[in-house]
Chain A
Amino acid sequence: MNKDIILKEVGKIIIPLVQLFGIYVIINGHLSPGGGFSGGTVLGTSLIIMHLIYGEDLVRSIYSRKKLLVGISSSLIFYTIIKGYSFLSYELELPHPPLGNFGSILSAGFILPLNIAVGIVVACVFYIIFSIFIKDEV
């Protein structure tokens, strides 16, 4: 599969910027508009662009199907444990995480790790569904 050389060179510039923007949207989810769902969509879109420009083999060699599924499952388990602790801690009077300075990145207690978990789930799900439906077998 010979793609255009302009496409490949532009992709080298565009893809890291798109991934950086996705990580920015996820990490600033509790400070600015955005969050896990929108940032995860941007991250998944960068994987889709990589798939379309460089072919499936390169993406599969970096992000194999097993890695993506492990990422989804461990993020969900992480979310469940963290939020279950947060719900139980009101009744059992367990210690809460500190809220931190208002407006800084490391603040707002459990919201930042939950945003990251949701972002990983959405990004992996987006790319897996795309990579299955892009084939002509369906």
Chain B
Amino acid sequence: MRKISASLITIILISILLIGVSDLPEFGKENNPSNNILSKTYIENTSKETGAANIVTGIILDYRALDTLMEATVLFSGVTVIILLFKV
């Protein structure tokens, strides 16, 4: 019984995911939503506005700096919980 229900759930999940994938736009077309003005704006303006030659660092530490702060906070809370749990 458990095996049958497990395989049923797996088949249903796989078909839901595949239906979702089939609605994705075709790869490499001009009018895809990923080809909007955002990437062009970043490539043209990041070095001028932040002064960083590395565009990735310019984005993650200037435009998206709160995201990086939360990543560092996740590391900090992880260490705090590990020290609390193992009492070392």
Contact = CB atoms under 8 A, between A and B. Distances in A.
Interface residues of B, number: 27
Contacts of B51: 30, 99-100, 102, 107-109, 111
Interface string A108-124: 11110011011001101
A2 to B, nearest CB: 26
A66 to B, nearest CB: 11
A111 B58 contact: yes
> In terms of DSSP, what is the predominant structure of the interface of chain B?
helix
Contacts, number: 101
B69 interface: yes
B21 interface: no
A121 to B, nearest CB: 5
A22 interface: no
B47 interface: yes
B14 interface: no
A125 B78 contact: yes
A122 B79 CA distance: 11
A117 to B, nearest CB: 8
Interface of A: 29-37, 65, 69, 72-73, 75-76, 79-80, 83, 86-87, 99-100, 102-103, 107-111, 114-115, 117-118, 121-122, 124-125, 128-129, 132, 135, 137-138
Interface of B: 47, 50-54, 56-58, 60-62, 65-66, 68-69, 71-73, 75-76, 78-79, 82-83, 86, 88
Given A32-B53, A72-B76, A121-B75, 12 more contacts: A30-B57, A33-B54, A76-B69, A76-B73, A107-B52, A108-B52, A110-B62, A111-B62, A115-B61, A122-B72, A132-B83, A132-B88
